[in-house]
Amino acid sequence: MATPTVNENVRYEPDDRPPHLVSLGAGAQAALITLAPIVLTVVIVVRIAEGSDSYLSWAVFAALVVSGITTVMQAVRVGRIGSGHILIMGTSGAFIAVCVAALVEGGPATMASLVVISSLFQFLLASRLSLLRRVFTPVVSGTVIMLIAATVMPVVFDTLEQVPEGASGAAGPLAAGATLIVVTALVLRGPPAWRLWSPVIGIVVGCAVGAPFGLYDIGQVLDAPWAGVPIHAWRGFDVTPGIQFWALLPAFVVVTLVGAIETVGDGVAIQRVSQRHQRATDFRVVQGSLNADGMGNLLSGILGTLPNTTYSSSVSLAEITGIGARSVGVVIGVLFFVLAFFPKVTAILIAIPGPVAGAYVTVLLGMLFVQGMKIVIQDGVDYRKAAVAGVSFWVGTGFQNQWIYPDLLGDGFLSVLLGNGMTSGAIVAIIMMLFMEVTAPRRRRLQAALDDETLPKLSEFLRTFATGAGWSRPATDRLLLVGEETVASLLGDDGADVGADVKRRLVVTARNQGNGAELEFMSAAEGDNLEDQLAYLAEPADVPDGREISFRLLRHYASSVRHQKYHGVDIVTVHVESRR
C-alpha cells in the first residue's frame, strides 16, 4: 500500500502513438530476435519425431502465421480477446515433449486433434480464472515448469549428436560448444541490449563453426522457393481418436493449463513495465491475454502445428526500449505473418544444425527450470509446500525415466499417461494441493446481497468468527472495522459492467492465518481498483470525496489489501493481525 511510483523509463504507453519509424524499428528488432525461437522449437520437435521435410516446412509456415495473427490480437484487443499490450506470441517450448510423443504415437493428425481439444481448456481457464486460483497455485505451476525442463532435456541432448553421416566426430561438440559459450557469455556478462540478441549471435557463431564440417546444409536454402505456401503438407485431423489420443490428452491439458499460468505471469509483468504510473494488476487484461493464447492454440491445432504461447522476452523488450505502444505489437505480428510466405527465409533457420539448435534450447530450458524454482520459492516455502514440490518432481522424474514400476505399467493407456513425467508429476502435485485444501482449517462463509443491509450481517459474521478464534476486544473491533470499510468501498463502486437491474452478490470467507485472519470478499462489480485508491491516498484529489475516509481507515487497520479484478468478479483479500 505504498504511494504510487513513476516509471520514468517508459517512453510510450500502450495508448500512445509513437512516430511510424519508431514503431517500425522497434517492431523489426523484436521480430528478428523472436523469429529463431519460433522456428527452432518446431524444427526440434519434428526432427526428434523423425517427421518428413514436407511436414516440417508446413509446420514452420503455420507456426509463423499463427504467431503473427495472435501477436496482433494481443495488441489490438478485440472484445475480450487480447491484452492491449505488446505480448509476442510464438511456439511454446513447454509442448516439446508431449508433441514429440503425439507425433511418434499417432502422427500430425493426432497431434492436431489434441491441440484443438486442449485449447478449449484454456478458454475455460480464462473465463473461470478467479475460481481456479487455489488449485493452480504457484507451487503447482512452478513444479510443473521444472518437470517440463527435466522431461525435455534428455530429448534435446539427443540432438547434440545429430550430424551428417561421414562428418567428423568433433563437428557436433565444436558447434554445440561454440553456441553454448557465446549465448551463456552474453547472458552472464553482456550489456542489456546484447543479451536480447544473444540467441541470434550464438546461433550464427555455431553455424559458422559447423559449416566447414558440412553441418549447415546450404543446399536446402538454395533449393527453397522464394515465395509460396506448402499447403500440400497439411495433414488434417484425426476424427477417430484411438488409445494414444486419450492417453495423451491429460498431458496436453496439463501443459496447456501450465502454459496459461505462464501467460498469466507475462500478462501481469507487461502491465508493470508498460505504464508510467504504476497501478494494481488488472486481471481483465490477463484474461484477455489468456483468450488470445487460447485462440493461438486453437488455430495451431487447426493448421496442424505446435501450440503457441506468450514470450517472456516481450517484457524484457518493453523494459529495455521503454516502448509499450500497441502499434509495435501490430508491426511484429505483421512481420511474422509476411515472413511465413517466404520459404527461402525460413529455410535459413530450418537448416540450422541439430547440435546448434540443441545447445541453444539447452540454455532456454535451463533458465526455464530456474524460473520454476523461483515461482515456488517466491510463494514462500514451508514444509508442506516443500513436500508438494519435492515429491511431485521426483515422482514425475521417476516415471519419465521408467524408474518406477515400468513392468506394471505395460504398453497400454497407463504407460502413455504416466510415462510422461510432466503429467504424472502434475497429477501428484494437484492431488496433494487438493488434499491440503480439503483438510485445511475450515473457512467460515457468508453469502448476502451486496446492498445497504449487508453491513449488519457482516458485523455479526465477523464477531462470531473473532469470538471463536479467541480474539481480544480491540482486535475484534479492528476486524469489524476492516470488514465494514471493505464492503463500504465495494458498495461505492459504480459497477460499470453490471447492469442497474442486476442484483450484486457478496461472498465473504474468513479463516485463521498465522497471527491474524484472512478475509476474502468476492462480489460481482467492476469499478475502481481498491489497491490503486489506497496507493493514491497521498494525492487526495484523485480519490472520490465520499470514500476517502473509508480508504484511509482501511489502509491504517489492515496489514495488507489485494484487489483482483476479473470480468464480472472482484476479489478483495485483506489480512488483519490479531495482535498489533
Please report the pLDDT score of residue 545 as a whole number.
43
Q: What is the mean pLDDT of residues 431-451?
A: 83
DSSP-based three-state secondary structure for 447: strand
Please report the pLDDT score of residue 7 as a whole number.
61
Please report the pLDDT score of residue 18 as a whole number.
86
Q: Residue 100 above 60 pLDDT?
A: yes
Which cell is 235 given?
A: 495433414
**Rounded Cα gap, residues 347 and 354, in angstroms:** 14
Interhelix angle 343-350/20-48, nearest 10 degrees: 50
Q: Residue 530 above 50 pLDDT?
A: no
* Sequence-ordered list of residues with C-beta below 8 angstroms from that of 13, at least 6 positions apart, any chain: 274, 275, 276, 324, 325
Contact 77, 308 (CB under 8 A): no
pLDDT in tens, 45-58: 998 888 888 899 89
Q: What is the mean pLDDT of residues 340-366?
A: 83
pLDDT in tens, 74-85: 999 888 899 889
Q: What is the pTM of this model?
A: 0.69
Map out the domains of the chain with their CATH numbers: 20-146+158-367 (no CATH), 444-577 (3.30.565.10)
Higher-confidence residue of 163 and 344: namely: 344
pLDDT in tens, 1-20: 444 566 666 778 888 888 88
Query: What region, left, alpha or beta, does residue 514 occupy, with left being phi > 0 and alpha being psi -120 to 50 degrees?
Result: left
Q: What is the mean pLDDT of residues 206-213?
A: 88
Band (pLDDT 50/70/90 cuts) for residue 334 is very high
Q: What is the mean pLDDT of residues 319-329?
A: 81
What is the DSSP secondary structure assignment for residue 323, as one 8-state letter? B
pLDDT in tens, 471-528: 989 889 888 888 888 888 777 654 444 445 557 788 888 988 777 888 888 886 555 5
- For the ranges 90-99, 268-277, 416-425, 526-535, the lowest mean pLDDT is seen at 526-535
What is the phi/psi pair of residue 536, to 5°? -90, 15
- Mean pLDDT of all residues belonging to the chain: 80
Among residues 508, 425, 394, 497, which one has the least CA distance to residue 459?
508
Match 501490430 to its residue by C-alpha cell.
330
HSE-up (13 A, CA, CB side) for residue 330: 14
Rg of the Cα atoms in the chain: 26
Helix (H) or strand (E) segment spanning residue 194: helix 192-210
* Sequence-ordered list of residues with C-beta below 8 angstroms from that of 383, at least 6 positions apart, any chain: none
Please report the pLDDT score of residue 281 as a whole number.
64
Please report the pLDDT score of residue 223 as a whole number.
79
**Rounded Cα gap, residues 285 and 281, in angstroms:** 8
Helix (H) or strand (E) segment spanning residue 91: strand 89-91
Task: Report how far apart, in Å, the C-alpha atoms of 156 and of each of 162, 246, 266, 294, 380 are.
Answer: 10, 26, 25, 26, 32
Question: Three-state SS across 513-563?
Answer: ECCEEEEEEEECCCCCCHHHHHHHHHCHHHCCHHHHHHHHHHHHHCCEEEE
Q: Which of 70-74, 306-310, 364-368, 488-492 has the highest mean pLDDT?
A: 70-74
**Rounded Cα gap, residues 564 and 574, in angstroms:** 11
Please report the pLDDT score of residue 2 as a whole number.
47
Please report the pLDDT score of residue 60 as a whole number.
92
Please report the pLDDT score of residue 137 as a whole number.
73
